[in-house]
Structure 1
């Protein structure tokens, strides 16, 4: 369950025909480099809901070009390519937050730790696509790591968002931003500003909730789950 103190109103932004997003080539983002683990480990004892990594209103796959069934995955965790990815849209200046819920399906508290902070694009230049912030979700009752999420294209990262930091569901990781047009970020207008989200299980495969392009989301919209036991990547829950 994700806690929320204030209701959020979903606002639908009007789109100009000239604003278009083109999917960035997979090879232009810098993949995470971690040694592969030889141990798969036990199945997770509970699942954790995944929410939009943007506070307030946002839009799922606004232009219909980045559905998780086919969208490119470019980052690795524990030596494995992430399970699924999707673009979540919001004009520049929105607050970026952790996508993980606060409790598991078994009711255990969840802690989220920052495991990666760096420029996300292969050029190493923040102007080309902002920060990649990697987060790890752990069941604090059992001590097991359930999954990770890579949050890409983050602007204006606060200084306290560093590797090892613990973040809550409303801790500000940064903001949505508009970066210069490049091979890593092919966006022609503010309506194309987005967060590229990738998710992975520690064991087996996580899943996403299938929905139509352009679906409006809010803080309480579940978009996927980690800790599930799907048989392969890019599968719906």
Structure 2
């Protein structure tokens, strides 16, 4: 059916508008097109810093024989061999402390508690290598346990450091010591006294901060992180 005469002006105006739209510049048409929305990506987990387990100055891998890239790992947690290990040196009598930071990288508080406390050497004799003290860190914002650390060759452990105890960043775990020479502890002089440290993530792998042998460490030197997403163990951050 043809349009009536009264409708023709309206139709003509509509046709003119259509022709103008088709003749619009291509750039204008692109501007009017809806923009694609960026795909959401999973956020990285909040990490927790690992600090030296010795209060005051200490030395990382003093003699160049215990780098975390290859140093032996002795202990396991959750059925898995720990992710990395390193020896941190200080003469006998230095204070050994809890090593996890007090907050995550996102600023939420953490809780650190003592898990298995045992003689460090397989003989079960403290004279062969002192105490092994396990610490577990939990992100309080999620309630998730994110990592553990084993602090080995601890002397003079206080009675309060027992399974289930809650500790803070400066809680004293004991002190560095000299133990008798054995297959578990092969040290001849005071300069060889050290803490053997092992760290593990609850999932994926934790990492260490790479540094040269004999590097000096302070109370606030970050030496590693847990709740990281490293693809393999013994990996630098």
Is the pair's TM-score, using the shorter chain for normalization, greater than 0.5? yes
Q: Which residue of the partner structure matches residue 151 of structure 1?
A: 151
Does the Cα contact within 8 Å between 1:127 and 1:179 map onto a contact in 2?
yes
Q: Which residue of the partner structure matches residue 78 of structure 1?
A: 78
Post-superposition offset of 1:187: 0.2
Which structure has more helix as a fraction of its residues?
2
Query: Aligned partners of 2:207 and 2:197: how far apart in 1?
Result: 13
Unaligned runs of 5+ in 2: 1-42
Post-superposition offset of 1:44: 7.6
Query: Aligned partners of 1:87 and 1:224: how far apart in 2?
Result: 13
Query: Aligned partners of 2:109 and 2:189: how far apart in 1?
Result: 40
What SS is found at the alignment partner of 2:127?
A: helix
1:65-214 matches, cutoff 5 A: 65-214=65-214
What SS is found at the alignment partner of 2:151?
A: strand
Does the Cα contact within 8 Å between 1:44 and 1:203 map onto a contact in 2?
no
Q: Does 1:54 align with 2:64?
A: no
Computed over aligned residues only, the root mean square deviation of the Cα atoms, in angstroms, reads 1.0
Does the Cα contact within 8 Å between 2:83 and 2:200 map onto a contact in 1?
yes
Query: Aligned partners of 1:44 and 1:202: how far apart in 2?
Result: 15
Query: Aligned partners of 1:116 and 1:54: how far apart in 2?
Result: 20
Q: Which residue of the partner structure matches residue 236 of structure 1?
A: 236
1:2-41 matches, cutoff 5 A: none
Post-superposition offset of 1:45: 3.1
Alignment: residue pair count? 195
Change (3 A) 1:65 1:162: same
Q: Which residue of the partner structure matches residue 17 of structure 2?
A: none
Query: Aligned partners of 1:169 and 1:116: how far apart in 2?
Result: 18
- TM normalised by structure 1 equals 0.81
Query: Aligned partners of 1:99 and 1:124: how far apart in 2?
Result: 25
Unaligned runs of 5+ in 1: 1-42
1:27-80 per-residue CA deviation (whole Å, 9 max, x = no partner) reads xxxxxxxxxxxxxxxx98310000000000000000000000000001000000
- TM normalised by structure 2 equals 0.81
What SS is found at the alignment partner of 1:191?
A: helix
Larger radius of gyration: 2
Q: Quick one: higher RCO (CA 8 Å, sep 6+), 1 or 2? A: 1
